[in-house]
Amino acid sequence: MPRHWSRWGIAIAAILLGLGMLTRIHVETLWFAELGIPTVFLRRLGVQVLLFSVAGLAIAAWIGGNLRWAARLQATLPDRSAPRLQLTGLLTVLSLLWLALLALTTQAVIAAWTCQDGGALPLLPKILTLDWLQSPLITERTWPLGWGLVIGLGSLVLFLWRPWPILIGLSTITSLAIALFTSREWLRIWPALAAESVSDRDPIFQQDLAFYLFRLPALEVLQFDLWIALAFSFCAVLAIYYLANHSVSNAEFRGFAPTQQRHLVRLTVAIALFLIGHCWLAQRELLFSELGAVYGIGFTDRWIKLPLLRIWMALFGIAAIALFWKTRRGLLSSRWIRNLQLGAIASVLIWVTLPAIVQQLVVQPNELARELPYLKQAIVFTRRAFGLDQIETQTFDPQPSLNRAVLRANRETVQNIRLWDTRPLLQSNRQLQQIRLYYSFPTAQIDRYLLQTSFGKALQQVIIAARELDYTAIPAAAKTWVNEHLIYTHGYGFTLSPVNSSAPDGLPHYFVKDIGANTRINGDASLGISAEAVKAAISVENPRIYYGQLTRNYVFTPSRTQELDYPSGNDNAYNVYDGSGGVQLGNYAQRLLFALYLRDWRLPFSGDLTAQTRVLFRRQIKDRVRAIAPFLRYDAEPYLVTVNSESAATAGLGQSSLFWILDAYTVSDRYPYADPGEQPFNYIRNSVKVVIDAYNGSAKFYIVDPSDPLIRTWSRLFPTLFQPLDAMAPILRSHLRYPTDLFKAQSSQLLTYHVLDPQVFYNRDDQWAYPLEIYAGETATVQPYYLITRLPTAEGEEFLILTPFTPLGRNNMIAWLAGRSDGDQYGRLLLYEFPRQRLIFGPEQITARINQDPRISEQITLWNREGSRAAEGNLLVIPIEQSLLYVEPLYLEASRNSLPALTRVIAAYQDRIVMTPSLVESLKQLFPEPNLAAEPTAIAPSETD
C-alpha cells in the first residue's frame, strides 16, 4: 500500500473520530440544557478531559523518556565484570512480566469502558498484596484478563521480530488506555478533592472516615496508574537492553553495560518507592479484610500483616537507598542480584504462610478471646454504616385483646388490609385493561391517597399501574421507521385499584380504568368512597406517558404525522405533543448532527419533520437519571403518582398530572469495619428522591438526608443539580415512601447485627431469618410489604413498610421491623421485639395451620381440579394496637390465560382460623359480636363498577 494512502486513512479516521466526539458533546450539552442543568455536564466533561490529559501526558512522558534514554544506551557494550544472566531464564521472566502487565492493563480499560458508572477499579490491590494466592482470582469482572493475555502473547511474538515499532505502538496505546481508564474513574477521583470531614475516625489508624470514603478510592486509581507506568517502563527497558547486540540471534546474553545497569537500578528504585506507598495503602485496606471471624482488621491482620507491611516499608526504603548508593559506586555484583531475588521470594513466602499459620495455630484455638475487641468494632461500624444504630427498639407483647370494639377504633387500619397483591392485579390488568397488544403494564406499585370517605378524610391504600406503550410487541410487519419514531410515541393512562375491594365476580375493583374518552372514575360504596371523592384527589386529564419504564426508543414530535393517542372503538384517536420535553431539531445542520449521534441515516431524509420538531431520547427513566447522576444507585422500581389539576397548578407543576418518583442511594464499599453481607456495598443512605415528569421528562433531585457526607460532597461538586426537600411540591411529598431496596438491605443486616453483645454475636445463637410462606402454590420468602396501620406508640394511622422475623431454624415470630413514610416521621425505623418466653405464631406456622384445617384443605382440593387452581396470596401480619391479626387472600385462576379472582379471605387470630368469601365475614366469625355489618369495613361489590 502506498505511504500516502496510509496517511490519508489515518487522517480520515482521525477526522471521523473527532467529528463523532464533537457531535456527542454538542448533543449532550443540548440535552442537559433542555433539563435546565447544562453545568452538570460541562463540569463533568471538564473533569474528565483534565484527568485524561494529565494522566495521558504524564504516562506518555515517563514511558517516552525512559525509552529515549534506553535507545541511547542500547548499543553500549557491557563490562567483562557485568553479571551474566542465563538467556533462557531472563527470556522467561521477561515474557511473564510482559503478559501480566498487558493483561492487567487490558482488564482495567475494558472494565472501565463497560462499567456504567465508572468505579471499575481492577485487581491491582489484590495482586500487589498477594491476596490472590489465598483466595480465588477469577471474579465477575476479570474476564478481560483473557483478552489481555491474548494481546500480550501476540505483541510478544511481534516484539521479537520488530521491537521498536511494537514498543512505540504499545507505549502510545498504553498511555491512551491509562488516560481513558483514569478519566472514566472520575467518580472516584473528583470527590477526593471536595471531601468533607465525617467527624468520625477508624479505631486502628485514627483517620477521619472521609479518607476511606473519598481519598482511598482516588489513591487506588493513582496507584494503578503509577504501577502500569513503572512496570511497563521497566519491562520495555529491560527488553531493549536484552535484545541489544544481537543477543537473540547469537543465543548469548553478555550482560548489561554499566550505564544500562544504572538505568535499570534507578527504575528499580522508583518501583521500591512505589511499593512503600503501596504498603502504606495496603495497611488501610486491611480495614476491609475478610480473614478470620470478623470483617475488617482481626487479630492476625493487626499483629502479623500490619507489622509485616510496616517492616516491608522500611526494607523497601533501605533497598532503594542501598541500590542507589551501590550504583553510584560501581556495578551490582551477581551476589547483590541473587540476594535481591532471595529477599523477594522470602517476602512472598512469609506473607503467604505466616498469617495462615498464626490464624490456624494461634487464633482459631482461642478465637473468641483473640477476636473479641475486633468483633465489637465490627458490630458498631456495620450498624452505623447501614443506619441500624438509628433504629428505635421497643417491646411488643401481643395480647388477646382484639375484639369488635378494637376493630371499630382502628377502622382505617382494617379498611386498608391488603387483599390484592401486585402479581394477581397485573395478571388481571393484562387481561382486562391492556386494551391493545402494544400496551403493557410492566409493574404495579403500592401507594396511598387521602380520600374523602363517609366518615371523614382517610388514607386509602391503592395499587397503581401505568399503561405504557411497548413497541417490541408490535407485529414485525408494522415495525417501520415512521411507526417507531413518529406514531407510536407514548403510553396512555393507568389503573388505580383499592387493595381491599373486588367486583362481584371477584375481579379487581377499579377507581380508575379503561382508556381515552372511555376512562371511568369509580367510587366504592362498600368503602364509603364516592366517585366525586376519587375525582377530587386523582386526575386523568393529561395521562400521556412519554417517559416511563418501557420507553426505550427515541421519537420525533410534533411532526407532520399525528401520533397515536389511544384506540377508540374500531378507530384510533390521534394527538400532537405540546409539551416542553426533548431537544429541538432546528435547522438541517443540527438534524445531520442528530443523525450522526443517533446513528439514524433516515433522519435527514424524512419529510415529516419541521423546524419545531423535538427529539425525545433517553426516555427510559433509569437511563435518564443515570445519565444525569451516575454516582447514585437507584431503586429497582420507580412508582407512579397522579396529581389532580388543581393541586398541580397550586404546586407549580404545570400541565402534567403523572410523575414518577424514584429513590436514589449513596453507597460505598469503603466504610471501615462494615460488613457488606450479601451486598456489593457496605455503606448506604437514601439521600435523594428523584421526581420525573412523565409528560415533559424533567428530572429533579431532592436531598432527603443532608447529614450524609457523600451527598454533601456531590452537592458541592454539582450545586445546580440538587434541591432541598422543602422545594418539593407538598402534594408529591405526601407520596414519599420508605424505599424497598434500602429496607431490604437494612433488614438483611439486622438478621445478624441486631446482636450487640460480641460473645453472643460470635456464638451465632441469636440469629434471625425471614419467614417463609406459600405464595401461588410455591414456598417463598416473605417479602417486605406496605400497609396502613397505627403503631402502638403513634396517634394515628400511617403508611409503613414492614417485615417480620423468626429465629434461625425456628418458625415462631421473634420481631418485626417497620419503616415509616409519612410527614416528619419519614425515614424512621422501629423494631418491635416479642417476648421470648411466649410463643408468637409466625407466617410458616399459620400457613401450616391453614393447610391442616380440614374445611379449608378440602375446599382448596376441590378447586385444584384440571383447568383451575387456588393460589394463595401474601400472608400478612397486621399489628392492631397490642394484637396481631393474620390475613391471607385466596385467588381462583385458570391454568391458561390466568385471570385471578378473589375467592376467599382467610383470617387467623390466636388459635382460630376462618375462611369466608370476604374479609368482613371472616372478621364476623373471628369476633362474633353484633353490628359489625353496619361498619364500612365490609368488602363488598361496588355499585358504580
pLDDT value for 420: 93
**Alpha-carbon gap, residue 462 to 416, rounded angstroms:** 9
Q: Average pLDDT, stretch 622-632?
A: 95
- Say yes or no: 534 and 655 in one domain: no
User: What pTM did the predictor assign?
Assistant: 0.90
Cβ atoms 799, 766 nearer than 8 A? no
Query: In this structure, are 584 and 446 located in the same domain?
Result: yes
Q: What is the DSSP string of 300-366?
A: HIIIIIHHHHHHHHHHHHHHHHHHHHHHHHSPPPHHHHHHHHHHHHHHHHHHHHHHHHHIIIIIGGG
- Asked whether residue 556 falls in the same domain as residue 447, the answer is yes
% of the chain exceeding 90 in pLDDT: 53
Same domain? 580 vs 521: yes
Average pLDDT over residues 179-197: 90
The pLDDT tens digits for 342-374 are 777 777 788 888 988 998 999 989 989 999 999
166 and 92, same domain (yes or no): yes
Task: Answer yes or no: do 634 and 616 share one domain.
Answer: no
Q: Is residue 549 part of a domain?
A: yes
Domain that holds residue 664: 621-736
Tell me what pLDDT residue 385 has: 96
The whole-number average pLDDT for the span 272-286 is 92
DSSP state of 508: B
Whether pLDDT at 120 is above 60? no
Question: Residue 104 belongs to what H/E stretch?
Answer: helix 87-114
Q: Does residue 642 share a domain with residue 615?
A: no
Q: Which residue has the cell 472494565?
A: 111
Per-residue pLDDT of 829-854, as tens digits, reads 999 999 988 889 999 999 999 988 88
Domain end residue (candidates: 605, 620, 635) = 620
- Return d(Cα 773, Cα 632) in angstroms, integer: 34
Question: 643, 639, 631: which is closest to 662 by C-alpha?
Answer: 639
Q: Which of 193-207, 481-495, 615-629, 735-749 has the lowest mean pLDDT?
A: 193-207
Which of 833, 813, 662 is closest to 739 using CA atoms?
662
Between 107-116, 315-324, 351-360, 740-749, the lowest mean confidence (pLDDT) is in 107-116
**Secondary structure of residue 643 in the 3-state scheme:** coil
Q: Which position has the higher pLDDT, 936 or 548?
A: 548
Per-residue pLDDT tens digits for 679-703: 889 999 999 999 999 999 999 999 9
> Do the domain assignments include residue 883?
no
Most distant CA atoms of the chain, gap in Å: 113
Most confident of 403-407, 445-449, 779-783: 445-449
Whether residues 430 and 493 share a domain: the answer is: yes
Q: Are residues 555 and 642 in the same domain?
A: no
Mean pLDDT for the stretch of residues 491-508:
92
Same domain, 117 and 227: yes
pLDDT average, residue stretch 603-631 = 93
495 with 465: CB under 8 angstroms?
yes
Residue where a domain stops, chosen among 686, 711, 736: 736
Residue for cell digits 428523584? 690
**461-494 pLDDT, tens per residue?**
999 999 999 999 999 889 999 999 999 999 999 9
> Does one domain contain both 548 and 532?
yes
Q: Count the domains in the chain.
A: 4
At 171-181, the pLDDT tens digits run: 888 888 889 88
Cα separation, 679 vs 675, in Å, equals 9
Buried b (16+ CB within 10 A) or exposed e, 371-394: bbebbbbbbbbbbbbbbbeebeee
637 is a domain residue = yes
Domain end point (choices 691, 710, 736): 736
Shared domain check, 264 and 298: yes
In a domain, 204, yes or no: no
Q: Are 451 and 530 in contact (CB under 8 A)?
A: no
504: DSSP letter: T
Percent of the chain with pLDDT over 70: 84
Q: Is residue 165 part of a domain?
A: yes
